[in-house]
């Protein structure tokens, strides 16, 4: 199904055909729980660092402010993000997670990045470019496979495939 571009993935057409146009409460609850869990994790980390630095008051204020700021940004950008095709969003989020994971893993092993923290920019650009190239290669490969499968289909009684 990659021939349809970013909008569809494997099996999505069959799943999304019966979906109505109303508000998706299940999706909302699942997304809210996931974001809340991540936000709680960040708040615990911030408060733990604040406690270690004997500044728990300012850390708690910072954690509360970050929850409010992220919530406001999420509410403000909802319509913009909702217009981004799901497959494109998944690809770019995966590339960014891989970028940060690679950067921090190498730093944890004691490696020094050329340019310091700015290496995140070129590393992210590399992963996104590689992902886009691989999407194109797989799309081309799948189109060739579909063509070969259609050519191998037996003819029906009417002479068509």
- Among the residue ranges 82-91, 96-105, 144-153, the one predicted with the least confidence is 144-153
Could you give the CA distance from residue 45 to residue 136 in angstroms, rounded to a whole number? 40
Domain ranges of the chain: 22-83, 85-152
pLDDT of 86 over the 90 cut: no
User: pLDDT (tens digit, 9 = 90+) per residue, 28-37?
Assistant: 888 888 777 8
More confident residue, 137 or 19: 137
d(CA 9, CA 15): 11
Each residue's pLDDT tens digit, 120-144: 999 999 999 999 999 888 888 877 7
pLDDT at 2: 43
- The stretch 20-34 carries a mean pLDDT of 78
Per-residue pLDDT, 46 = 83
Structure-token pair, residue 96: 């960014």
Q: Which range, 56-70, 117-131, 145-159, is most confident?
A: 117-131
Question: Is the pLDDT score of 78 beyond 50?
Answer: yes
Tell me the average pLDDT across 72-100. 87
Residue 149 predicted with pLDDT over 80: no
**pTM of the shown model:** 0.55
Rounded CA-CA distance 120/57 in Å is 32
């Amino acid at each position: 199904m990659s021939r349809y571009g970013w909008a569809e993935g494997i099996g999505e057409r069959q799943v999304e055909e019966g979906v109505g146009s109303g508000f998706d409460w299940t999706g909302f609850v699942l997304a809210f729980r996931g974001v809340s869990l991540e936000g709680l994790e960040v708040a615990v980390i911030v408060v733990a660092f604040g406690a270690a630095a004997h500044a728990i008051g300012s850390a708690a204020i910072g954690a509360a402010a970050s929850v409010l700021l992220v919530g406001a940004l999420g509410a403000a950008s909802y319509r913009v993000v909702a217009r981004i095709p799901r497959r494109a969003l998944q690809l770019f989020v995966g590339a960014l997670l891989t970028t940060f994971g690679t950067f921090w893993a190498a730093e944890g092993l004691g490696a020094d990045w050329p340019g310091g923290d700015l290496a995140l920019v070129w590393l992210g650009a590399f992963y996104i470019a590689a992902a886009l190239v691989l999407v194109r290669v797989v799309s081309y490969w799948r189109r060739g496979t579909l063509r070969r499968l259609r050519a191998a289909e037996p003819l029906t009684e009417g002479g068509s495939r």
